[in-house]
Amino acid sequence: MPTSRASSQPAPGHAPPVSARERLLLLLALAFTSLAANLWSAHRRAWLFYGDAEAHLHIARRLFDSHRPGLGQLGSVWLPLPHILLAPFAAITPWWRSGFAAVLPSTLCFLIAALALYLLLRIWLRALPSLFALAFFALNPNLLYLQTTAMTEPLFLATLIGSILLLVRWQLALDASKSAPTSANRASLGSRHLWPLMLTLIASAWTRYDGWILGFAAWLWMAIALHRRRALIQRRFILASFALLAAPALWMLYNAVYFGDWLDFMRGPYSAAAIEARTSVGVVPPHPGWHNPWVSALFFWHCSTGDAFARSVVGWLLLALSLVGLILLVRRLRHSAVSPRAFDSRPALAIPLLLWFPLPFYAYSVAWGSVPIFLPDWWPHSFYNTRYGMELLPAFAFTLGFAIDWLLRQLAVASRHSPTSQSSARSTAQPTPILAASLACFLIANAGQMLGQGPLVYIEATRNFAARSAYTETLAAALARLHSLDPSALTLVDTSAFPTIIPRAGLTYRQTLNESDKQFFRAALAAPAQRAGIVLAFNGDAVARAVARHPQRLRLVAHFSAPGQPAASLYISTLSPLASVLPAYATQ
């Protein structure tokens, strides 16, 4: 006897109807997928293709490997949580040098994000459409590559989807509180989800600045929901609100204490605005969408669809299906009243629409936040920040699940009312497997065609790596050779542009004097030959300016250049033991 829709749903305020066995099987399948991607990435040595991946490991490592270890090494621009999570793995020197240090934490974030998306879908949908939506998300080649690197996208996606899931559960518990017998019970029903939700939002706020907007939106939603129930002024919510507010406040305080400006992340020398000012060289506009939110939104949308869908008929059909799912979701919100069944609660069903918040966020950020997006098929026909589009992948997957669920239901209704359904029970069982097999083929074809066409994020990473890899290898080899002649020599170098030179040279940061050492670095800039045995200067950087001001007792031993890269000069101090052995080195 067929079961009704209501009978298969969770009770109000309860967890989604996903068994432990179902979760375990999902995690095993996701772990296998992640392992395959990691083996693929390891085979190509792609862990450090992104320059930013090198920089994230650089920050994580110097938390303890520097002349002044501690929180001050976190820097002022990138938020701290990714580097804190990477630090224990970056402490293992071979893992840090190879890039493998990022694999375990990024893979874990991928598993959390994928499982959270499935649990979110299962609140409203059956297993089959939820699995299709999960497959679309987890088989995305761009995401599979990113979860093998130190990039922050996997962690942010985990906190984004996790926050939405927990906010939905909090809302469901709040809706169920209407049937609670006492006011005390009504006030406490949502409390078990409150702190997990706040901690996840705090993690998001300490991962990417997008998380600040997500945190505010989630808090505002909760505040309005509680206000409507006249329960806004309650101790636990006020404490949780202060904890959430403390996340950005502590980051501003940290900037003020360590860098002298509470907004150094916005206007300091390493901020996005400063980078744009240095690289645009007076060109107006410096990038597409500059001061134009409509063009910015268009670029972000094009980037997001390119990151999620193949550039083919299959990709366009899946995109159309995802947008149909969004329309179905909005229609369901408009035509459903708040139901006594918690799973049909209109407020809870509206919460996943927050998955679309990256669209207005990046429309603003590209226009006025100095974070351009370049795409190969639009001017200036290049690759830059294509990974930003990955933030809409959960939204596409979620609405795709609703569209697939609708298709399966429409097919089931049509098959039940077909003339052949009364004469053959077998005929009613045929359409659904055929549609399911067709959808599976579409999802596999989408991922396969993206691989064949070249995933945008991975292609950007390879071009990023190709532009600097040979140069950094040459510089690292020269630096390693000098250190082999005098292992005790300190190297004065600004590591911000090419952080991978130090690990590739076989050195640690304690064997350098770099920009993160603050007073040690400033002292070395004032007297390079007296403070360091080796000096590596890049044209225009602080070390090059120091050498120009204090050239005494410095001997140029090599000069390097490469297309598109700043020229580099390698010096030794004549006060160093290297001065007596250099002729033997120079003739080899």
Distance (Å, rounded) from C-alpha 46 to C-alpha 464?
11
Which pLDDT band holds residue 185 (cuts at 50, 70, 90)? low
Residue 552 neighbours by CB distance under 10 Å: 11
Residue 248 is predicted with a pLDDT of 98
Residue 394 is predicted with a pLDDT of 98
Which pLDDT band holds residue 2 (cuts at 50, 70, 90)? very low
Residue 138 is predicted with a pLDDT of 98
Distance (Å, rounded) from C-alpha 170 to C-alpha 344?
14
Spatial CB neighbours of 68, under 8 Å, sequence gap ≥ 6:
516, 517, 518, 519, 520
Residue 189 is predicted with a pLDDT of 56
In angstroms, how far is the first alpha carbon of the chain from the final one? 85
Spatial CB neighbours of 494, under 8 Å, sequence gap ≥ 6:
514, 515, 538, 541, 542, 543
Spatial CB neighbours of 7, under 8 Å, sequence gap ≥ 6:
none
pLDDT tens per residue, range 302-321: 999 999 999 999 999 999 99
* C-alpha 22: how far from chain center: 27
Residue 445 above 90 pLDDT?
yes
Residue 5 above 70 pLDDT?
no
Residue 426 is predicted with a pLDDT of 45
**Domains recognised in the chain with CATH numbers:** 13-453 (no CATH), 468-586 (3.40.190)
Residue 182 is predicted with a pLDDT of 53
493: left (phi over 0), alpha (psi -120 to 50) or beta: beta
> What are 534's strand-pairing partners?
491, 572
Residue 6 above 50 pLDDT?
no
Which one is predicted more confidently, 543 or 336? 543
Residue 180 above 90 pLDDT?
no
**Which residue, chain included where needed, has tokens 């134009």?**
292
* C-alpha 246: how far from chain center: 22
Which one is predicted more confidently, 234 or 149? 149
Residue 7 above 90 pLDDT?
no
Residue 179 is predicted with a pLDDT of 59
Under 8 Å between Cβ of 51 and 464: yes
Distance (Å, rounded) from C-alpha 501 to C-alpha 532?
17
pLDDT tens per residue, range 221-279: 999 999 988 888 889 999 999 999 999 999 999 999 999 999 999 999 889 888 888 77
pLDDT tens per residue, range 383-434: 999 999 999 999 999 999 999 999 999 988 877 766 655 554 444 445 678 8
Residue 121 is predicted with a pLDDT of 96
Residue 346 is predicted with a pLDDT of 75
Task: Please compute the mean of the pLDDT values over residues 485-514 and round it to a whole number.
Answer: 94
Residue 581 is predicted with a pLDDT of 80
Spatial CB neighbours of 277, under 8 Å, sequence gap ≥ 6:
none
* C-alpha 561: how far from chain center: 33
Rounded to a whole number of angstroms, the CA Rg of the chain reads 27
Residue 281 above 70 pLDDT?
no
Q: Report DSSP letters for 6-26, one per residue.
A: GGGSPPTTPPPS--HHHHHHH
Residue 103 above 80 pLDDT?
yes
Q: Report DSSP letters for 454-507, one per residue.
A: --HHHHHHHHHHHHHHHHHHHHHHHHHHHHHH-TT--EEE--SS-TTHHHHTT-
For a pLDDT cut of 70, what percent of the chain falls above it? 89
- Which of 161-165, 235-239, 297-301, 411-415 has the weakest average pLDDT? 411-415
pLDDT tens per residue, range 341-350: 444 567 899 9
Distance (Å, rounded) from C-alpha 175 to C-alpha 159?
24
- Which of 53-62, 185-194, 276-285, 418-427 has the weakest average pLDDT? 418-427
